[in-house]
Amino acid sequence: MAEQTPYWLLISVLFSSQPLTPALAMTLHEAAFELYTRGEGSREVAGDLLSGRVNNLRKDVSLGGIAGPAFEAEIETERGSGVVRFVLTRQGLEMMKAQPPTAATAPARPKYLN
């Protein structure tokens, strides 16, 4: 669903020292959504467009009608290094819950030795 949903419904950028393309915003969203669903603190991101680290700030923020968990990313792109501070929107989180879990977000199955 994230590929079909406009990125501005999923992520709200509070600050970016680099221009964000839709593909870059979706890469950050996917990393942050995994951190949020797993309760992890940070993870590396890498791909054709960027490399860097996304950090879960573990706090909810509200700016006008936009609210959600806050994240910060330190990235390297073809335009240089930068910092992005953003929020996963509540609307976007609700839309992602409607999507069936993927292998990355599904809980691990217990392994039994019989």
Per-residue pLDDT tens digits for 91-111: 888 887 755 444 444 455 555
What pLDDT shows up at residue 64?
86
State both tokens at 52: 């860097």
**What confidence tier does 112 reach under pLDDT thresholds 50, 70, 90?**
low
What pLDDT shows up at residue 1?
44
| Cα–Cα dist 93/98, whole Å | 9
C-beta of residue 13 within 8 angstroms of C-beta of residue 29: no
**What confidence tier does 66 reach under pLDDT thresholds 50, 70, 90?**
confident
Listed in sequence order, the residues at least 6 apart from 85 whose beta carbon sits closer than 8 Å to its beta carbon are 13, 14, 15, 16, 70, 71, 72, 73
Q: Could you give the angle at which helices 90-97 and 22-38 cross, rounded to 10 degrees?
A: 70
**pTM for the model:** 0.76
